[in-house]
Amino acid sequence: MSRARHAIHRHLRSRWAVAGLVGAVALVAAGTAIAQLGSDDEPSSQPSHVASSPSPSATPTVQSSADACAAEIRTTEAVVTAAHTAAGHWREHVQARTDLLSGKNSEETTKAIWKRTRLAGPTDIATLKAAITAQAKAQGGCAKLPGACSQRRTALDRAASANEAAARDWENHLAAMAAHAAGAFDADHAQQMWVAAWTAAPKNLNAAAQADAALAAAPACRPS
């Protein structure tokens, strides 16, 4: 166990303890109680009156629009899924401290949760960044397809944004833990940073849970 963790957990003993998807994903229940959050460890078409068949270019144009929207929906869903996973590990990390402080979890159980989520963290962030890069190339695909697709796209955007905010909190905490382990600052400073992150975590985690619930209620998009 790292010097950081020893120091932080000694400190914990003395005072505290701290939603994709999508595409048919059942996201985190809207009622996730962030108050119970706890996580981290430490440290143009043919005129309608013409009787002839559509011109050869008409069908490909419609199909192209449908394909473009489908790609945008698919890649945005991938972003939501990746961000939701990262935010979920952050939520667990935060909740672990909350449960330790309340006596719900033992220190051993808490440390196991912290270690599991911490080790998953780098993959969480790398997967999210790759999904965001892919999604950026498909932007605007649903602009010509209003209705259900537009509504779902809006809900996806909101869920992605909210979960990304929580994922950034997770990324920042992962970076802080790594910096402490590398000797960038001492255990007391690491503990202060952790407590501050744990205290601030509910704001973005609650927003993510609410956006997930709104996405779950949004209409499906079938552009093809």
Which pLDDT score is estimated for 57?
A: 45
Integer Cα distance of 218 and 153 in angstroms: 9
Which pLDDT score is estimated for 208?
A: 98
CB 39 within 8 A of CB 90: yes
**Residues near 13 by Cβ (< 8 Å), separated by ≥ 6?**
107
Integer Cα distance of 166 and 118 in angstroms: 15
pLDDT tens sequence for the chain (224 residues): 343 443 333 333 333 333 332 333 333 333 333 333 333 455 433 333 333 444 444 444 455 778 888 888 999 999 999 999 999 999 999 999 999 999 999 999 999 999 999 999 999 999 999 999 999 988 887 876 667 888 888 999 999 999 999 999 999 999 999 999 999 999 999 999 999 999 999 999 999 999 999 999 999 887 66
**Dihedral sign (CA 119, 125, 131, 134):** negative
Which pLDDT score is estimated for 49?
A: 34
CB 101 within 8 A of CB 13: no
What does the DSSP assignment read for 81-145? HHHHHHHHHHHHHHHHHHHHHHTSS-HHHHHHHHHHHHHHHHHHHHHHHHHHHHHHTTTTTTTT-
Find tokens 């992150």 and name the residue. 197
**For the whole model, what pTM was predicted?**
0.71
Integer Cα distance of 40 and 12 in angstroms: 12
CB 198 within 8 A of CB 145: no
Return left, alpha or beta for 59; rule: phi > 0 is left, psi -120 to 50 is alpha, else beta: alpha
